[in-house]
Amino acid sequence: MMRILATLALALPLAAQIKGPLLDAHNCYPYMGQHADRIERALSLGFPISIEQDVALWDGHAVVSHTAKTTGVEPTLREHFFERVRPLMDKAFKENRRDTWPLIVVHFDFKDVQKPLLEDVWKLLGEYEGWLTTTKKSSDPNKLGKFDMKPLLVLTEEADEQEVVFYNEVKVGTKLRLFGSAHTKDLTARATNYRRWLNYSWKAVEPEGQPKAGDWSPEDAARLKNIVDRGHSLGYWVRFYTLDGFTAEENQGWDASYNFGSHEAVTERWKAAMDANVDLIATDQYEMLAKLLAIRRN
């Protein structure tokens, strides 16, 4: 069953209601000349969905890249993501089913935070602002503005350099086009108008890391629930990365450091994340998690 996160709605009544938990399609872009089908695979799984785009700079423009060391072969962020979803945005506006928005949560993982890159992304978002869930910047950063709901919601991460460009330099009364994550270390601050979510490594739950994780335990489940409940109580959405479980033969260019080693092990963690009301669950195994989420929703 698709669940609107009641705890989040109570803590953050003016925020967009992400209907989750959502599949977060990790590293959803080509690299090393491979994996060009990832965005098509993700978008074929239905909505709502979250999609990660790693972003770097080449020749003055934002490109999707697994590394800051770009070579010019990387697709631009404009073509790879925004123009790819244009037909979906057009369809969404034609149908005007606002209760289903946002359909796509796109998450930018910046591979570096040089100002020309950040400024190019801000400018690019301005070209597509009509698609974006936005709110206005007020004089009080702790006052959470009401969202103008649109089919696309843009998130980015915690770097202070990003906040300078995406929030500090934005004039009061101007629309905020994307929303950063909070610093998770020693977290005490509530969500702000700009910092709306938390981005946790799974090591916050199982410190030994995915490859060395033992059996899932009641202690692990309690640790996960405490992290999520605390985040929600402070008004944030919560994401965990990255939960995979595959054999060497199944590997499709995925990072071994995220691998629990089997379908059974990762499925147990996915179910635990759903039970704990994690908002965004990042995985490279899109189809497997999508199938599990569909079963849960029905």
DSSP the chain: --EE-HHHHHH-TTS---EESEEEETT-S-BTTB-TTHHHHHHTT-SSEEEEEEEEEETTEEEE-SSS---S-SPBHIIIIIHHHHHHHHHHHHHT-GGG--SEEEEEEES---HHHHHHHHHHHHHTGGGB-BEE--S-TTS-PPPB--SEEEE----HHHHIIIIITSPTTSEE--BEEPP-TT--PPP-SSEEEEEEEGGGTSTT-GGG--S--HHHHHHHHHHHHHHHHTT-EEEEE--B---GGG-SS--GGGB-SSHHHHHHHHHHHHHTT-SEEEES-HHHHHHHHHHHH-
Q: Which residue has the higher pLDDT, 273 or 34?
A: 273
Reported as a pLDDT band with limits 50, 70 and 90, residue 18 is confident
- pTM of the predicted protein model: 0.94
| pLDDT for position 17 | 66
Pairing status of strand 3-4 against strand 19-20: antiparallel
| pLDDT for position 7 | 37
The tens digit of pLDDT for each residue in 97-115 reads 999 999 999 999 999 999 9
Range with lowest mean pLDDT among 2-16, 71-85, 143-157, 164-178? 2-16
Reported as a pLDDT band with limits 50, 70 and 90, residue 126 is very high
Closest-CA residue to 284 (of 19, 38, 18): 38
20 vs 16: CA distance, rounded Å: 12
9 vs 13: CA distance, rounded Å: 5
- % of the chain beyond a pLDDT of 70: 94
| pLDDT for position 21 | 94
| pLDDT for position 32 | 82
The tens digit of pLDDT for each residue in 205-235 reads 999 999 999 999 999 999 999 999 999 999 9
| pLDDT for position 38 | 97
Instruction: Tell me which amino acid residue 51 is.
Output: I
Reported as a pLDDT band with limits 50, 70 and 90, residue 9 is very low
pLDDT exceeds cutoff 70 at 15? no
The tens digit of pLDDT for each residue in 277-298 reads 999 999 999 999 999 999 988 8
Reported as a pLDDT band with limits 50, 70 and 90, residue 37 is very high
- CATH architecture under which domain 18-297 falls: Alpha-Beta Barrel (3.20)
| Count of CA atoms in the C-beta half-sphere (13 A) of 199 | 19
The tens digit of pLDDT for each residue in 132-182 reads 999 999 999 999 999 999 999 999 999 999 999 999 999 999 999 999 999
Domains of the chain by residue range:
18-297
Reported as a pLDDT band with limits 50, 70 and 90, residue 128 is very high
- Average pLDDT value for the chain: 93
